[in-house]
Amino acid sequence: MSEKIFFETKELVLTEEFMQSAIEETYFKHYSKGDELFPYYPQITIRFHIKDKEEAEFQYQATYYGSGTDGVYAPDRIIDNYQSWEFYDYK
């Protein structure tokens, strides 16, 4: 069941509508650091609390910028656009 939730949530995150409404209209409006040329995009985490609501069993995490990107201001930064997800198992 948790895989289904992850894949459906990932599919939602990758839509243009999500990027427009959740990231560009909501996140940037409330959390923007004032740099429109190099905006800071949030990490997206899907965390699963199966047995205990205080401790996560595992999570998936993605970033807008790809791995190997040095800082927000790197002119040659790789744009991953939340395509690559990392899995963290806390069991």
Task: Say what the pLDDT of residue 58 is.
Answer: 93
pLDDT, tens digit, 9 for 90 and up, residues 19-59: 999 998 899 888 776 666 667 788 999 999 988 888 899 99
Q: Please give the model's pTM, rounded to 2 decimal places.
A: 0.78
Q: Locate tokens 């996140």: which residue?
A: 27
Residues 81, 65 contacting (CB under 8 angstroms): no
CA dist., res. 1 & res. 3, Å (int):
5
